[in-house]
């Protein structure tokens, strides 16, 4: 009877996994469709939409988890959550995305968006080095977010004016390759976005629940099953919205949306998630996070920078290296847990 119950749990877990995966895919479809339609409706670049609305929406679960943890006197979870998410966004998500379609890099990404992400990463490391992130440091990060959003809003307004001026002077060519998409009413674009965000959120929840159930069934006799599940499945689940949104966008040829989503998500994770959580409650940063995990995060960010600056696109072979780095990081963590390293 006990075995039968475990077998039933296994079947339910598989069902959750499959349903979650299907909902994730449909959520990604709606999100990309809504984001591109919104970009066309307001005459701004999909990169800007990816850096702001899509990035902030896909990072919302991290913010909710971190604030909830802070209110429950466990704010330190936010630090590990953000470090793991930022590593996965570049090494896992970007790596997988460029395997589908290499991503062209424009001057805006090279000289503005990526440097902002690098500055945010440096600020995160600097304020964490003393082992604690307090109210003032959280406020500084949050104010940096306000400045970043103000810049993005100003840039969006300038882009719209540019488009209007080109239309007024009968310039036929559009600055954005959106001609393959049907123009939708503004309200419909927003609806698509909301449906996409909801689909990604619940799809990720169900996918992770199903995967954890399967892993617990397969690893029932392993004393380290909780650590293995946390490092692999839960870590993957926190980046599932970004992974699906970016890969779906790449599959549809919207690479600007993909790279914008990932850069914006990493910026939002630091400025908003760490900033707001630090304002709510002080956060402890462990020595292991400072001396190990953060250096992986910084190193992966620098590799992304090398990929961006050595050419006009991030190629598939660089994606293979990124994925290899991610799985190496996962492997090293498991070896450290087992005391091998």
Here the tokens at position 144 are 């940096």
Residue 4 neighbours by CB under 8 Å, 6+ apart? none
Residue 152's pLDDT is 82
Residue 150's pLDDT is 86
Residue 90's pLDDT is 93
Residue 203's pLDDT is 80
Residue 46's pLDDT is 72
Residue 123's pLDDT is 96
Report which of 124, 94, 86, 139 is spatially closest to residue 280, judged by C-alpha positions: 139
Here the tokens at position 48 are 């800007």
Sign of CA dihedral 167, 171, 172, 176: negative
Report which of 51, 52, 40 is spatially closest to residue 178, judged by C-alpha positions: 40
Each residue of 94-117: b (16+ CB within 10 Å) or e?
bbbbbbbbbbebeebbeeebbebb
Could you tell me which CATH number the domain at 47-175+208-334 has? 1.20.1420.30
- Give, as one character, the DSSP assignment of residue 272: I
Per the CB < 8 A criterion, the answer to whether 285 and 139 are in contact is: no
Residue 166's pLDDT is 60
Residue 308's pLDDT is 93
Residue 317 neighbours by CB under 8 Å, 6+ apart? none
Report which of 82, 83, 66 is spatially closest to residue 74, judged by C-alpha positions: 66
C-alpha distances (whole Å) from 259 to each of 14, 47, 106, 265, 311 are 32, 7, 11, 10, 15
Consecutive 10-residue averages of pLDDT for the chain (341 residues): 63 84 79 77 73 76 73 75 88 92 89 93 95 94 92 76 61 44 70 84 80 74 60 67 82 81 90 91 87 94 94 92 94 78 71
């Amino acid at each position: 009877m006990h075995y039968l119950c475990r077998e039933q749990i296994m079947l339910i877990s598989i069902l959750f996994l499959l349903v979650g995966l299907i909902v994730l895919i449909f959520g990604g479809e709606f999100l990309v469709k809504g984001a591109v339609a919104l970009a066309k409706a307001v005459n701004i670049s999909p990169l800007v939409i990816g850096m702001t609305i899509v990035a902030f929406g896909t990072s919302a679960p991290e913010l909710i988890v971190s604030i909830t943890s802070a209110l429950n006197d466990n704010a330190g979870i936010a630090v590990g959550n953000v470090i793991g998410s930022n590593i996965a966004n570049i090494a896992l998500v970007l790596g997988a995305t460029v395997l589908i379609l290499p991503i062209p890099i424009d001057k805006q990404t090279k000289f503005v968006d990526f440097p902002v992400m690098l500055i945010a990463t440096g600020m995160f490391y600097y304020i964490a080095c003393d082992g604690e992130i307090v109210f003032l440091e959280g406020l500084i990060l949050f104010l940096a977010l306000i400045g970043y959003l103000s810049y993005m809003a100003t840039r969006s307004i300038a882009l719209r004016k540019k488009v209007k001026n080109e239309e007024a002077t009968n310039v036929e060519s559009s600055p954005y390759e959106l001609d393959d998409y049907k123009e939708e009413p503004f309200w419909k674009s927003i609806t698509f976005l909301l449906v996409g965000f909801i689909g990604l959120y619940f799809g990720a929840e169900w996918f992770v629940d199903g995967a954890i159930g399967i892993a617990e069934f397969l690893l029932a006799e392993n004393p380290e099953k909780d650590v293995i599940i946390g490092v692999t499945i839960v870590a993957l689940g926190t980046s599932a919205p970004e992974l699906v949104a970016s890969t779906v966008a790449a599959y549809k040829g919207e690479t600007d949306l993909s790279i914008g989503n990932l850069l914006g998500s990493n910026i939002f994770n630091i400025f908003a998630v760490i900033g707001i959580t630090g304002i709510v409650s002080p956060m402890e940063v462990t020595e292991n996070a400072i001396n190990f995990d953060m250096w992986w995060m910084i190193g992966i960010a620098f590799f992304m920078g090398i990929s961006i600056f050595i050419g006009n696109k991030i190629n598939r072979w660089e994606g293979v290296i990124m994925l290899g780095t991610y799985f190496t990081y996962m492997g090293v963590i498991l070896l450290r847990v087992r005391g091998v390293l």
